Amino acid sequence: MASNGGDKKLHIVMFPWLAFGHILPYLELAKLIAQKGHLISFVSTPRNIDRLPKLPPNLASHLQLIKLPLPKLHNLPDNAEATTDVPYNLVPFLKKAYDALEQPLARFLESSTPDWIFYDFAPYWAGPLASNLGIKTVFFIVFTASSMGFFGPPPDMMSTDPIRKKPEDLIVPPPWVPFSTTVAFRYFEAMRIFGGFSGDPDSGVSDSYRAGAAIQNCDIVAIRTCSEFEPEWIQLLENIYRKPVLPVGQLPSTTCDDEEKNDTWRWVKDWLEKQRRGTVVYVAFGSEAKPSLEEVREIALGLEKSGLPFFWVLRTQRGPYDEDVLKLPDGFEDRTRGRGVVCTSWAPQLKILAHESVGGFLTHSGWSSVVEAIQNEKPLVLLTCLVEALNAKLLEEKKMGHSIPRDERDGSFTSESVAESLRLVMVEEEGRIYREKIKEVKDLFVNREIQDRYVNDLLAYLRDYKSTKLGDGDC
């Protein structure tokens, strides 16, 4: 496909954080840009590169995968190169090892002389590094515009004396949001997340500071959303960031089939084929989130009480060094045998969601999972674990998802509330709005022409920005 807005072919480096919820959206954007004849250097660590989905053969000459070995830290286990490999308490050490990639990345940028680098929130140092080498910078955000808008202006994110000084300040929309919204944390979520606003003793830098510095030090911001979906939030970001904010579309998954994993799909499909159309609950919490043992118990008993067939992808550990191994309630699998499946290994999520027997998705609200559900018109039941709580509030506000009721103080929930929520969204007349709303927004999220327009607009902006700056003698 020919690129629009001139013949100039760009060389773009992409440098995502070491989490597959970040790596895969970066890869989707990389593929869309490479399809238009531009060169992408996709940079990550060796093990993460080896775990990427197979690339289409036609992109081989335009999308090069660059391996930068992750520096060794004594606190970090061998082969731990992504958040999915380690328990929560070791993620700060993963960030510290990632920070040590600064010099290897500098050497690669010097030798490859790209036009642009797209970087994530964690490498807050990538902006100044690239600028010093004459390379233009894009902070590419994989979170929704509403989530980023809630976190606020960069100076406040980086400040040692922020406006919001206690968890209670996070349970209401912030003062810089000029329109009415319900996007904010609940009390128990605020208590869990508040530490991210203060210093991180293990990595040395808070997530809030990283994101603020990443914004402050880039030339432009690109974000995984579309202006038809979050227009007021995108405008807010432009106002508080004081620089261009370019939506790049929702980046629906275009993963190629992996022949080695077909055996798994064969037995999964065989089971799904035996279920009635639209009756199966698909349950999964992504590569990042991990419920507690008590939460797993209530989810399991809720699935049992719902009476619905279910397919549950349950990650019992975050990597082999996670000592907190999740277990199902005694007798659960025997009591639900034939009606439900608990899969503790990899499962093909996109294919499962596409199957006609699946009628709903119990999810942690990670945005890649949300987009995949919308791709396949599956209504959403929401049970958040991490910062995805803001996604859930946005989905609730737009009547695109129903959150399982929880105790506001400690976040606990009951098996009864799980069962009732599943039946509401998938079966009952009262939940019809959720089933219909997902179908309404599908075209906006997965329309190829809309997605293509966003990528063309982004590329045109990158070319014009570069040539304008050069013409002005600013470089």
Q: 67-92 pLDDT, tens per residue?
A: 999 999 988 998 999 999 999 899 99
141, β-bridge pairs: 223
CA-wise closest residue to 382 among 285, 302, 308: 285
- Indicate the pairing of strand 116-119 with strand 136-141: parallel
pLDDT of 385 reads 85
Around Cβ 149, how many Cβ atoms within 10 Å? Answer: 27
Q: What is the CATH number of domain 261-444?
A: 3.40.50.2000
pLDDT of 164 reads 83
User: CA distances (Å), 326 to each of 39, 290, 293, in order?
Assistant: 43, 9, 6
Between CA 119 and CA 240 the distance in angstroms is 20
What are residue 286's phi and psi, to 5 degrees? 75, -175
Please list the ranges in the chain whose pLDDT falls under 50.
1-5, 467-475
Domain 11-254+447-471 sits in CATH 3.50.50.60: no
Task: Return the ∠ at Cα 125 (arms to 122 and 126), rounded to 5°.
Answer: 85
Instruction: For 324-359, write each residue's pLDDT tens digit.
Output: 999 999 999 999 999 999 999 989 999 999 999 999
User: For residue 206, what are the contacts with CB-CB under 8 A and spacing of at least 6?
Assistant: 196, 197, 198, 199, 200
pLDDT of 201 reads 64
- Are residues 285 and 291 in contact, defined by beta-carbon separation less than 8 angstroms? yes
Between CA 80 and CA 181 the distance in angstroms is 39
pLDDT of 166 reads 87
Q: Where does the chain hold its CATH 3.40.50.2000 domain(s)?
A: 11-254+447-471, 261-444
pLDDT of 458 reads 98
What tokens does 352 get?
A: 């499962």
pLDDT of 475 reads 32
User: For residue 48, what are the contacts with CB-CB under 8 A and spacing of at least 6?
Assistant: 18, 20, 23, 81, 82
Task: Return the ∠ at Cα 303 (arms to 302 and 304), rounded to 5°.
Answer: 90
Single pTM value for the model: 0.93
pLDDT of 467 reads 43
pLDDT of 375 reads 95
Q: Which amino acid is at 395?
A: L
Between CA 278 and CA 276 the distance in angstroms is 6
Give the H or E element holding residue 282. Answer: strand 280-284
pLDDT of 192 reads 85
386, β-bridge pairs: none
pLDDT of 66 reads 98
What tokens does 81 get?
A: 């190169």
